[in-house]
C-alpha cells in the first residue's frame, strides 16, 4: 500500500532531504580514493602546480594532485598514489614542467625503508623548478654590486660615439635595407639554390655506398702503390750496394784491369778496321747461299749449267750448221 502524504509541506521536506543526501553521496564518491593511498608533500611554493594534474613515479602516471593548501610559509600538496606503490622514509618529490603550455606534474621518488612519517614528504626533500624570491634576491645582489658611476660613464661614451657617427649610421642602415630588399626580390632564386643543394645532398646520401666502395678501392690502390714503392726502394738500395761493391773491386784491381782494357781497345780497333771486309764477305756468302738454294730447291739434286767451251763459228763448221 503506497504511503499517502496529506500535506504538500511534508513532500517538499522529503524532496529536499533526498537531494541533500544525493549531493553528499556524490561528493563523497568523487573525493573517495578507491585502490589508492593519500600522501602529502610540503612545497616552498606551487610553481604552477594545479589540482587535478598528474603524479608520476619513474615516469609513469600513478596518481593525481587532490588539493593545494597554504600552511604558513609553505604549501601542502595532497596527492594520491596507487596502493601498490609504497613510499619509504626517505622518499622525495619535485614539481616538473610537463609542456611549454604551462602544465606541470608532481614527480615522486620512493626511497628508504619502512613507511613515510605522517604520510608527508618534508620540505627539505621537495623542490620546485624555480623560486621567484630566490631570483629576485640574486638579482638584487648583482644590482647592488654594479658600479653605477662606471655604468653611467659607459652609457655616456656610447652616446657620444653614436652622436659622432650618426652621419655614417644612416648610409649603413640604408645599405642593410637595400640588402634586405635584394634578398626579398631574389627569394625564388635562393629557394631554387637551396633546392639544388638539397638535391645534391640527397644524391650524395644515395651514393654513399658507391663512395665507400670507391674509398675502399682507393685504399687498396694506395696500399699497392706503397708496396711497390717499398720494393723499388729496396731495389735501389741493393743497386747502390752493388755499385759500391763493383767500385771497390775496380779500385782494388785497377793495376790489372788497366792493361786488360788497353788490349781490349786494340782488339776493338782491329775489329773496326776489319768490319768492311767482314760485311762484304757476309754479303757475298748471302748471294752464294741464295744461288745454292735456288739450285737445290727442286728436289734431292742440284741443277747445274755448264756452258759449251767452243765458239759458235767453230761449232758450226764442225757440225755443218
In the structure grid, which three cell numbers stand for residue 186, read together?
Answer: 631574389
**In tens digits, what is the pLDDT along the chain, a chain of 321 residues?**
445 545 666 666 777 777 777 776 666 555 555 578 899 999 988 888 899 999 999 888 999 999 999 998 899 999 999 988 889 999 999 999 888 777 899 999 999 888 888 899 999 999 988 655 566 666 677 777 777 788 788 888 888 777 777 777 777 778 888 887 887 787 778 788 888 888 888 877 777 777 778 778 878 888 888 888 888 888 888 888 888 888 888 777 777 777 777 878 888 888 777 777 777 777 777 777 677 666 666 666 666 665 655 566 666 666 665
Contact by Cβ (8 Å): 104, 48: yes
Contact by Cβ (8 Å): 129, 97: yes
CB burial class (10 A; 0-12, 13-18, 19+) of residue 177?
A: exposed
- Dihedral over alpha carbons 53, 54, 55, 61 (to 10 degrees): 180
In the structure grid, which three cell numbers stand for residue 83, read together?
Answer: 596502493
Residues in Cβ contact with 105 at an 8 Å cutoff, skipping those fewer than 6 apart: 49, 53, 54, 55, 56, 61, 95, 96, 98
Strand positions, DSSP E, the chain: 36-43, 54-57, 60-71, 74-82, 92-97, 104-109, 120-121, 126-127
Q: What angle do CA 15, 20, 23 make, to 5 degrees?
A: 125
Residue with cell 610540503: 42
CA 65 remoteness from chain centre: 45
CA 39 remoteness from chain centre: 49
Q: Which phi and psi (to 5°) does residue 264 adopt?
A: -65, -35
Distance CA 41, CA 108 (A): 10
In the structure grid, which three cell numbers stand for residue 318, read together?
Answer: 764442225
Distance CA 87, CA 83 (A): 10
Residues in Cβ contact with 120 at an 8 Å cutoff, skipping those fewer than 6 apart: 39, 40, 41, 42, 76
Distance CA 191, CA 185 (A): 11
Pairing of strands 60-71, 74-82: antiparallel
Amino acid at each position: 500500500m503506497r504511503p499517502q502524504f496529506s500535506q504538500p509541506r511534508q513532500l517538499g521536506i522529503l524532496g529536499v532531504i533526498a537531494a541533500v543526501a544525493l549531493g553528499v553521496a556524490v561528493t563523497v564518491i568523487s573525493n573517495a580514493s578507491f585502490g589508492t593511498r593519500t600522501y602529502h608533500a610540503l612545497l616552498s611554493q606551487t610553481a604552477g602546480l594545479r589540482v587535478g594534474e598528474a603524479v608520476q613515479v619513474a615516469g609513469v602516471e600513478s596518481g593525481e594532485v587532490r588539493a593545494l593548501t597554504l600552511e604558513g610559509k609553505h604549501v601542502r600538496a595532497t596527492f594520491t598514489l596507487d596502493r601498490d606503490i609504497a613510499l619509504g622514509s626517505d622518499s622525495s618529490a619535485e614539481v616538473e614542467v610537463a609542456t611549454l603550455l604551462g602544465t606541470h606534474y608532481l614527480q615522486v621518488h620512493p626511497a628508504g625503508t619502512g613507511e613515510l612519517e605522517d604520510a608527508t614528504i618534508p620540505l627539505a626533500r621537495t623542490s620546485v623548478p624555480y623560486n621567484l624570491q630566490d631570483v629576485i634576491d640574486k638579482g638584487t645582489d648583482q644590482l647592488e654590486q654594479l658600479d653605477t658611476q662606471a655604468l653611467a660613464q659607459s652609457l655616456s661614451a656610447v652616446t657620444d660615439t653614436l652622436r659622432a657617427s650618426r652621419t655614417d649610421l644612416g648610409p649603413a642602415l640604408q645599405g642593410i635595407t637595400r640588402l634586405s630588399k635584394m634578398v626579398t626580390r631574389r627569394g625564388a632564386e635562393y629557394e631554387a639554390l637551396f633546392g639544388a643543394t638539397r638535391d645534391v645532398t640527397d644524391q650524395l646520401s644515395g651514393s654513399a655506398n658507391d663512395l665507400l666502395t670507391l674509398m675502399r678501392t682507393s685504399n687498396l690502390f694506395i696500399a699497392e702503390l706503397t708496396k711497390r714503392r717499398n720494393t723499388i726502394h729496396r731495389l735501389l738500395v741493393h743497386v747502390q750496394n752493388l755499385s759500391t761493391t763493383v767500385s771497390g773491386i775496380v779500385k782494388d784491381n785497377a793495376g790489372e784491369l788497366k792493361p786488360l782494357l788497353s788490349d781490349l781497345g786494340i782488339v776493338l780497333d782491329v775489329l773496326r778496321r776489319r768490319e768492311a771486309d767482314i760485311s762484304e764477305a757476309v754479303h757475298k756468302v748471302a748471294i752464294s747461299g741464295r744461288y745454292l738454294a735456288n739450285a737445290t730447291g727442286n728436289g734431292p739434286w742440284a741443277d747445274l749449267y755448264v756452258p759449251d767451251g767452243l765458239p759458235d763459228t767453230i761449232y758450226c763448221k764442225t757440225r755443218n750448221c
